[in-house]
Amino acid sequence: QYPSDTEGNGRFLGDLRDDEVRAVLSYTQARRYPRGEQAIREGDRENGLFVITAGRFEVVKRTPYKTSRTTVLQAGEIFGVQSFLDHQPSSTNVRAVDDSEVVVISPTGFDRLRLAQPQLALRLVLHLARIVSLRFRKHERSLTAPGEL
């Protein structure tokens, strides 16, 4: 789990007021994934930002030598961040562990939000920047054994 994905009430953008949540949701699409279904496949050009509203998803990374689960994400957490930000193909697979639900904001939906509610869009981007930074720091720590420089 990425502990950096949550704030406020324990959910992504959990510090938003109810009216702000409704505003963001008006620019999203709801999707359901039955247990075992992939939401994102490595190499996909799906570049939406996924916010888990129910269930759990596992992030799986393939290498030439093995396939390994990197994390399990739950309600209130997000995935698809890199592709959402850089518009590049996905570098991982994300699969529903349980019957699960998400809301997805596409780049087009985000542009509409940005034009209609720029302050709210800025808060979303700043939160994403924080998540990316904290995930990167966690990754850096995992590369360096204790006591090594």
Q: Which residue type, as a one-letter code, is found at position 148?
A: E
pLDDT (tens digit, 9 = 90+) per residue, 86-139? 999 998 999 999 999 999 999 999 999 999 999 999 999 988 888 888 877 876
Higher-pLDDT residue of 149 and 64 is 64
Q: 23-27, 64-68, 118-122 — which is least confidently predicted?
A: 64-68
pLDDT of 9 over the 70 cut: no
Query: Residue 6 to residues 28, 39, 47, 68, 108: CA-CA distances in angstroms?
Result: 19, 21, 21, 24, 24
